[in-house]
Structure 1
Amino acid sequence: MSAIHSPLGLLLDVDGPIASPVTRTVATPSIIDDLILLAGANVPIAFITGRSSAFIREEVIAPLVAAGLPANLRMYGVCEKGAVWFPITAEGMGDTVIDDTVALPQAVVDDLRTLVETRFGDTMFFDETKQAMVSVEQRTDVDHASFIAAQPAFNQAAFDIVSRHGLGVRYGDDERPDATGAVPFRLDPTIISTDVESITLDKDHGAKRALAFFAESGPLPDVWRSVGDSRSDYLMADHLHAAGYDVAHVDVRPADGILERPYPVIVMGEQIHDEAGAAFLDYWVEKLQLR
Structure 2
Amino acid sequence: MLVTASPLLGLLLDVDGPIASPVTRSIAIDSIATDLVELARLGVPIVFNTGRSDAFITEQVVPPLLAAGLPEGARVHAVCEKGAVWFSITHEGAGEIQVDEDLALPQAYGDEIELLVAERFDDLVFFDHTKRAMVSVEQRMEVDSETYLAQQPVFDELAMQALARHGFGAVREGDERPDVDGDVQVRVDPTIISTDIESVRLGKDLGAERALQLLEQDGAAPQHWRTVGDSRTDYAMATWLHERGHSVTHVDVRPKDGVPETPYPVLTAGDLIHDEAGADFLGRWVAAVRRGSLNAED
Please classify the TM superposition score into its range, dividing by the shorter chain length.
over 0.9
Q: 2:197 maps to which residue?
A: 196
Give the superposition deviation at 1:164: 0.8
Q: 1:97 maps to which residue?
A: 98
Which amino acid in 2 is paired with 1:7?
A: L
Q: 2:226 maps to which residue?
A: 225
CA–CA distance in 2 between the matches of 1:218 and 1:165? 44
Q: 2:214 maps to which residue?
A: 213
CA–CA distance in 1 between the matches of 2:102 and 2:279? 36
CA–CA distance in 2 between the matches of 1:249 and 1:86? 24
SS where residue 15 of structure 1 aligns? coil
CA–CA distance in 2 between the matches of 1:243 and 1:145? 40
Q: 1:176 maps to which residue?
A: 180
Give the superposition deviation at 1:175: 2.7
CA–CA distance in 2 between the matches of 1:30 and 1:163? 46
User: Where in structure 2 are the equivalents of 1:55-66 lying within 5 Å?
Assistant: 55-66=56-67
Give the superposition deviation at 1:289: 2.4
Q: TM-score, normalised to structure 1's length?
A: 0.96
Which amino acid in 1 is paired with 2:109?
A: V
SS where residue 176 of structure 1 aligns? coil
Contact 2:125/2:139 (CA < 8 Å) preserved in 1?
Answer: yes
Q: 1:14 maps to which residue?
A: 15
Give the superposition deviation at 1:51: 0.2
User: Where in structure 2 are the equivalents of 1:102-251 lying within 5 Å?
Assistant: 102-171=103-172, 172=175, 173-177=177-181, 181-251=182-252
Q: Within the alignment, does 1:45 sit opposite 2:56 as a pair?
A: no
SS where residue 78 of structure 1 aligns? strand
Q: 1:272 maps to which residue?
A: 273
Give the superposition deviation at 1:105: 0.9
CA–CA distance in 2 between the matches of 1:73 and 1:141? 37
CA–CA distance in 2 between the matches of 1:66 and 1:284? 21
Count of paired positions = 287
Q: Within the alignment, does 1:256 sit opposite 2:232 as a pair?
A: no
> Could you list the per-position Cα deviations for residues 131-164 of structure 1 after superposition, in whole angstroms to 9, with x for gaps in the alignment?
1001111000111111111111111111111111
CA–CA distance in 2 between the matches of 1:193 and 1:254? 19
> Could you list the per-position Cα deviations for residues 68-95 of structure 1 after superposition, in whole angstroms to 9, with x for gaps in the alignment?
1000111110000000011111111111
Which amino acid in 2 is paired with 1:176?
A: V
Give the superposition deviation at 1:52: 0.3
CA–CA distance in 1 between the matches of 2:58 and 2:135? 19
Which amino acid in 2 is paired with 1:115?
A: L
SS where residue 290 of structure 2 aligns? coil
Contact 1:5/1:42 (CA < 8 Å) preserved in 2?
Answer: no
Contact 1:4/1:42 (CA < 8 Å) preserved in 2?
Answer: no
Contact 1:133/1:195 (CA < 8 Å) preserved in 2?
Answer: yes
CA–CA distance in 2 between the matches of 1:150 and 1:86? 34
Contact 2:35/2:282 (CA < 8 Å) preserved in 1?
Answer: yes
Which amino acid in 2 is paired with 1:93?
A: A
Which amino acid in 2 is paired with 1:284?
A: W
Give the superposition deviation at 1:4: 4.1
Give the superposition deviation at 1:117: 0.7
Q: 2:294 maps to which residue?
A: none
CA–CA distance in 1 between the matches of 2:55 and 2:91? 17
Q: CA RMSD in A?
A: 1.2
CA–CA distance in 1 between the matches of 2:49 and 2:188? 19
The runs of 5 or more residues in structure 2 that have no matched partner are: 292-298
CA–CA distance in 2 between the matches of 1:60 and 1:49? 12
Sequence identity percentage: 55
CA–CA distance in 2 between the matches of 1:214 and 1:106? 32
Contact 1:14/1:49 (CA < 8 Å) preserved in 2?
Answer: yes
Bigger mean CA deviation after superposition, 65-74 or 33-42: 65-74
The runs of 5 or more residues in structure 1 that have no matched partner are: none
